[in-house]
């Protein structure tokens, strides 16, 4: 039997898809949560490296921290290694060692770049490609 499947591939250095999932960080970045009408997202990290967050323009709200779990709505957790850069366009480098996710809480997520490493580089849009692949499936028929 022959069929088609879609395979998604992520390319490029920018790990931030810019899609708001309502995450937030308190002013001191030690409290992380998820509530409707916030502007934030999480990015999965390897837990062994530095990641750098940069923006193409000044952000009224611009906070970054590590968290260890995804959150349901109306839940909170502890933020680690957080930085508050509200009102700036400064880059932020965070050590993610021992953590699973990087939480970015910013006014305009479409301007955010998250990349592995300790330096901000020129902005590159998040890219995802999809391609159709043929799948060959063998079925064993029982008689």
Q: What is the pLDDT of residue 1?
A: 54
Cβ neighbourhood burial of 38 (10 Å; 0-12, 13-18, 19+): middle
Tell me what pLDDT residue 3 has. 61
> Could you report the per-residue pLDDT of 43-55, keeping only the tens digit for each?
999 999 999 999 9
pLDDT at 133: 59
* 87 has pLDDT over 90: yes
The side-by-side arrangement of strands in the sheet containing 40-44 is 40-44, 101-106, 62-67, 80-84
Question: What's the pTM?
Answer: 0.85
pLDDT-based confidence at 8, cuts 50/70/90? low
Question: What is the arithmetic mean of pLDDT over 103-127?
Answer: 97
Distance, in Å, from the CA atom of 115 to the CA atom of 142, rounded to the nearest integer, reads 52
Q: Strands across the sheet with 31-34, in order?
A: 23-25, 31-34, 75-78
3-state SS assignment for residue 37 = coil
Q: What local confidence, expressed as pLDDT, does residue 136 receive? A: 56
pLDDT, position 128: 76
Give the separation between CA 85 and CA 66, rounded to whole angstroms.
15
Per-residue pLDDT band at 11 (split at 50, 70, 90): confident
Above 80 in pLDDT, residue 89?
Answer: yes
């Amino acid at each position: 039997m022959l069929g088609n499947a879609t395979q998604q591939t992520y390319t490029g250095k920018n790990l931030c898809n810019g899609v708001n999932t309502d995450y937030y960080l308190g002013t001191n970045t030690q409290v992380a949560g998820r509530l409707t009408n916030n502007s934030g997202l999480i990015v999965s990290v390897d837990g062994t490296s530095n990641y750098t967050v940069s923006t193409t323009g000044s952000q009224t709200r611009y906070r970054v921290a590590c968290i260890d779990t995804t959150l349901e709505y109306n839940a909170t957790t502890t933020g680690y290694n957080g930085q508050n850069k509200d009102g700036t366009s400064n880059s932020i480098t965070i050590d993610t060692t021992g953590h699973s996710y990087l939480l970015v809480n910013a006014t305009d997520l479409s301007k955010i770049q998250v990349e592995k490493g300790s330096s901000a580089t020129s902005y590159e849009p998040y890219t995802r490609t999809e391609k159709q692949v043929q799948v060959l499936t063998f079925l064993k028929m029982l008689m």
